[in-house]
């Protein structure tokens, strides 16, 4: 079950970010980062990690700032990593899921919403009274799964319910397109918000980076 969720999450992330489709490798998946980023050139994702598969995946890497991600506790990963690799506990997070349900949310007073779907990805944007972007999020729908990505509320607009509004709007849009389950990767702060909306922890996610 966890391995399937990880694969869904990776496929949805790639679609949402407009990267090439994940490449199948003997130990898991490789995703190329489409936009040049000096801190991430690509990511290896292991749906079913073990000491052997983590070592094999890490040993295949030559490019610095390649990331390795897999379900499991960060504290357990370091002994599996070869020289040059470190566990990034700040970037490590959680894989979460929810059964989607329709709520027909209404934007808080003073805000307007735009919803756009482009090539399989739905974008929700919330604007303030003068048209400035206050919050946003997006979701890629893959069959019965909707993978949430890039949910952000601008600093000046936090604690006004916008994050929850964006999440509920994405859920309604995903349901309209046939999705029944939501999947996302969350940080500590994000997990706190998502749990109030009914999302549940499926597994911790460990993130490691090659910095020789």
pTM: 0.93
Residue 142 in tokens: 């893959």
- pLDDT score for 39: 84
Q: Give the model confidence (pLDDT) of 155-211 as tens digits.
A: 999 999 999 999 999 999 999 999 999 999 999 889 998 999 999 999 999 999 999
**How far is residue 21 CA from its own chain's centroid?**
15
User: CA 89 → CA 24, 46, 188, distances in Å?
Assistant: 26, 17, 11
Compute the distance between CA of residue 192 and CA of residue 61 in angstroms, rounded to an integer: 34
| Phi/psi of residue 84, nearest 5 degrees | 100, -15
Query: What is residue 52's predicted lDDT score, i.e. its pLDDT?
Result: 95
Structure-block tokens of residue 161: 């319910």
In this predicted structure, the answer to whether residue 26 has a pLDDT above a threshold of 80 is yes
When the pLDDT of each residue in the chain is averaged and rounded to a whole number, the result is: 95
> Per residue in 79-93, pLDDT tens?
999 999 999 999 999
- CA 61 to chain CA centroid, Å, is 23
């Amino acid at each position: 079950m966890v391995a399937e969720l990880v694969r869904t999450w990776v496929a949805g992330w790639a679609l949402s970010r407009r990267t090439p489709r994940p490449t199948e490798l003997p130990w898991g998946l490789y995703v190329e980062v489409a936009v040049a980023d000096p801190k991430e050139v690509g990511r290896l994702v292991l749906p079913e990690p073990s000491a052997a598969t983590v070592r094999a995946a890490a040993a295949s890497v030559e490019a610095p700032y390649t990331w390795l991600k897999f379900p499991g506790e960060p504290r357990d990963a370091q002994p599996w990593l070869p020289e040059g690799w470190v566990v990034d506990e700040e970037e490590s997070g959680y894989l979460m899921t929810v059964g989607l349900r329709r709520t027909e949310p209404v934007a808080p007073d003073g805000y307007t919403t735009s919803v756009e779907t482009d090539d399989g990805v739905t974008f929700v944007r919330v604007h303030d009274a003068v048209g400035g972007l206050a919050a946003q999020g997006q979701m890629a729908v893959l069959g019965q799964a909707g993978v949430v990505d890039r949910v952000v509320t601008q600093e000046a607009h936090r604690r006004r319910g916008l994050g929850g509004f964006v999440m509920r709007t994405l859920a309604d849009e995903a349901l309209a397109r046939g999705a029944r389950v939501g999947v996302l990767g969350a940080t500590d702060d994000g997990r706190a918000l998502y749990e109030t909306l009914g999302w549940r922890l499926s597994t911790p996610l460990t993130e490691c980076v090659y910095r020789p």
